[in-house]
Chains A and B, each alone.
Chain A
Amino acid sequence: MLSRVADSLYWMSRYLERAENTVRQLDVTMGLMLDTSGTSAETRWQRLIASLGKASRMEWNGDLDAMARTLIFDSLNPAAVTFCINGARENARQVREEISSEQWQRLNRLFHQMHSQHAQAQFRSSINDLLASVVDGIHLFKGVSDTTMIHGQGWQFIRLGRYLERSYATATLLEVYQPELFQVQEQDNSGYQYLELVGLLRCCTSFEAYCQVYTADLSSDRILEFLLLNRDFPHAIRYCVDGIRDAIESIQRSGGRRPPEELTSGIGRLHAMLGYTTIGEILAGDTGAFLHTIREQCMRIHELIYRYYVHYSIQSALAI
């Protein structure tokens, strides 16, 4: 597969994953703002922006409506949902011959939806409906991708983009939430703490899945354990890392070229961090540093993928 095509598919996928993550976190944050918990809208907004990777030009200005509008519709701000969807579509447009017509049509429809008057009207009447329909559009695209595309290298690069973006985003989110998760020492019966925890889980669409594993008894330790170490839940970081490893192995199988030691060991290290550590050990150590290492490893894997599959030097390729 052409390197440029792999690059486009990878970024198409990352952009969509990012859009979905932003939509979900915005939805949760705006939901939490409805309760008068004593936490100000400004604090919540700052936490949202921090967990989106400290997006620039998103400083709180007191007008929630305008802020939310920017975060959804500003096609010039890299953190905005529309920016991400534009980016995904532009990448898809450059590889039209590689993706299925169904994929293209779904993505094209989502793009046009974001730029329609209808979306603006929906924003004014019911922002929840708007956010839900964006998530729907992305889910449909993912479903169509899985069912209409050959599960070859291109599809693996789509998975790679999705899981890397998700691991990174989840690690960032946990890093931001982590200090306040363990702040509250005595039992808080006001219910606000409960809402915060549900919010965190809903940011990763994992509330129901959590309940199935641990019952509705929410605790910070368990939530952290679930989102970090669960091997069966698609939004848990460990699951995503398994996905990354699997995608790289599949790419290697179909291309017959062995990934470099650096890349396999980088993924292996991340896998071991999550596969052979208990939540007790993580909490006993420096949890923040642990989460930070995960993020750094994700970035490193991204760089190695680029260096090996996309931007390799001609000399190194001819030497093989």
Chain B
Amino acid sequence: MNAGPTEKLAVEVDSLFGDYPLDQAFDEMREANGDVRPHYRALAETLARLPQEELQRRKQSADLSFLTQGITFTVYGRDEGTERIFPYDLLPRLITAQEWDRIERGLTQRITALNLFLRDVYSDAKILSDRVIPRELVYSCKHYRRQMRGLQVPRNVYIAVVGSDLLRLNTGEYVVLEDNLRVPSGVSYMLTNRRVMKRTFPQLFHSYGVRPIEHYAQLLLATLRSLAPEGRPEPNIVLLTPGVFNSAYFEHTYLARQMGIDLVEGRDLVTHDNIVYMRTTDGLKRVDVIYRRVDDDFSDPLVFRADSSLGCGGLFNAYRAGNVTVTNAFGTGLADDKAVYAYVPDMIRYYLNEDPILPNVKTFLLSEEKQRKHVLANLDKLVVKAVGESGGYGMLIGPHSTAMQREEFARQIEANPRNYIAQPTLDFSRAPCLIGNHLEPRHVDLRPYILFGEKVNIVPGGLTRVALEKGSLVVNSSQGGGSKDTWVLEQ
């Protein structure tokens, strides 16, 4: 008897996976018994039907597209050819409408609470008087800015641009790993990935019904405009970059061009009488809104680090006077401190009187003696992180560490317990990637980009970051991570 077309295809889909391993970690594409999840079926069938050479040809054409568009990030420490292509994977990550709905509601709730927290801490600090969060935890945070006390920010929005990192546990549940409230990056890769993928798999993209993300730059511009100081109906909006040597410089130029605004460096700005101007060929031009991609520390040498040449002297005073909006506001790093993170569910309950929709990852606070003892006894099983770092720096991954590294961390924890937290080593979800000419699972996270102006706005999807090295749990681009296009389905 001849196999019907459906059975034949099923065989081809099976052969696609070869010895693709499945274990207790959640696989985005396959269920525990090996079946392809319903929403991934069309992708699996497309892959099974495509001849190997055709797949490789599409991969090459996508590579070339990234190259010629100059989608690069800067690698430090080499004098020539300092730009590198951002690695990416050809297969999209799919998220169903139902899953997305939960993520969207959860993030909206979380960002609203975080913003209320910042406003509270920098004004009446009720949450501290009510002893929901320990006072010393907030005031010992290195990103707390006393200069922000009692300062009114436009629309009370402290965090206009956020990129939260989500993981998926082996139950399939999404959890929040961290909130990036300072200067989150990577959104340009989300946008360019989509452009390339639309060209690489046009029919598949069409048949899936994917929600669009291309309007992100427009939404960002509208968000920035909504935060302009009062009485400036046609605000002059600029993007402040640290300059050509910053690792995200490509993104800065990309966003400035997409929004049609000027890309300025600190040396382009001057302040006079608490008004910020930029130097143009037509003389000085007043600046109303600054989308800041420079850290607090480097923004104003008169208020923050005096040795910084990236910012503009007098910027903070102009900001204080309400003559210019700087976003994100200064001091927002307080709320993404990894120890303060542990209290976000409490903030949600305290300010919104709701239960958190997206849970946190279990976090041990090392400033508390009982928890510290537990952590020090179990360093080989846990992940330890410095509270104020990002980008995968200052981290100990217990199961992958040597005894010497553990000793070193134990010493540092004893010396400064407030500076560290610990979390269980998470077996977060994996998605299939095209490695060579076959599929292999790799760990992935998800960074949706959230905009907060008149209201919270999240473009469906975000950047799926991939730990491209086999078995690796680190997805940061500075540490060998890549990315995938993320498709949020209409249905």
Is the CB–CB distance between A97 and B284 below 8 Å?
A: no
Cβ of A317 < 8 Å from any Cβ of B? yes
Give the contacting residue for A1; candidates B250, B270, B281; CB below 8 A.
B281
C-alpha gap A6/B70 in the complex (Å): 23
Query: Which of B164-172, B272-280, B317-325 lies at the binding interface?
Result: B272-280
A34 at interface, CB cutoff 8 A? no
Check A251 against B281 for contact (C-beta < 8 Å).
yes
Is B234 positioned at the interface, with any CB of A under 8 Å from its CB? no
Give chain A residues whose Cβ lies under 8 Å from the Cβ of B243. 94
Q: Verify B282–A94 contact, CB threshold 8 A.
A: no
User: Within the complex, which residue of A105, A115, A309 is in contact with B281, where a contact is CB–CB below 8 Å?
Assistant: A309
Q: Are B268 and A2 in touch, CB under 8 angstroms?
A: yes
A: residues with CB less than 8 A from B are 1-6, 93-94, 96-97, 101, 104-105, 108, 115, 153, 157, 251, 255-257, 309-310, 312, 314, 317-318, 320
The answer on a CB contact under 8 Å between B284 and A318 is yes
Decide: A153 and B281 in contact? CB cutoff 8 A. yes
A300 to chain B, nearest CB (A): 19
Cβ contacts under 8 Å, B257 to chain A: 96-97
Rounded to whole Å, the gap between the CB of B314 and the closest CB of chain A is 11
Tell me if B270 and A3 are in contact (CB < 8 A): no
B267: interface (CB < 8 Å): yes
Candidate in A96, A153, A256 with the most chain B CB atoms within 10 angstroms: A96
Q: Most chain-B Cβ atoms within 10 A of its Cβ — which of A2, A105, A320? A: A2
B interface residues with partner A (beta carbon < 8 Å): 68-70, 80, 243-244, 250, 253-254, 256-257, 262-265, 267-268, 270, 272, 278-284
Instruction: Say yes or no: A2-B284 contact (C-beta < 8 A), given A93-B244, A314-B270, A318-B272.
Output: no
User: Which of B80, B279, B282 is close to A4, meaning CB atoms less than 8 Å apart?
Assistant: B279
A97-B263, A314-B270 known; A105-B282 Cβ under 8 A: no
Contact of A257 among B80, B267, B268, B283 (CB under 8 A): B283
Q: Is the CB of B279 within 8 A of A2?
A: yes
Task: Find out whether the CB atom of B262 lies under 8 angstroms from the CB atom of A2.
Answer: yes
Min C-beta distance of B400 to chain A, whole Å: 38
Contacts of B254 in A (CB 8 A): 97
A101 surroundings in chain B (CB, below 8 A): 69-70
Would you list the 6 A-B pairs with minimal beta carbon distance, nearest first?
A255-B282, A96-B253, A3-B279, A97-B257, A97-B253, A309-B281
Given contacts A2-B268, A108-B70, 15 further A-B contacts (CB under 8 A): A1-B282, A2-B264, A2-B279, A4-B267, A101-B70, A115-B80, A157-B281, A255-B280, A257-B282, A310-B279, A312-B283, A314-B272, A314-B284, A317-B283, A320-B283
Asked if A4 and B281 sit within 8 Å, CB to CB, the answer is no
- Of A3, A256, A257, A318, chain B has the most CB atoms within 10 Å of the CB of A3
Instruction: Show 26 residue pairs from A and B whose CB-CB distance is below 8 angstroms, ordered by the A residue.
Output: A1-B281, A1-B282, A2-B280, A3-B279, A3-B281, A4-B265, A4-B268, A6-B281, A96-B70, A96-B257, A97-B254, A97-B256, A101-B70, A115-B80, A153-B281, A157-B281, A255-B281, A255-B282, A257-B281, A310-B279, A310-B281, A312-B283, A314-B270, A314-B272, A314-B284, A320-B283
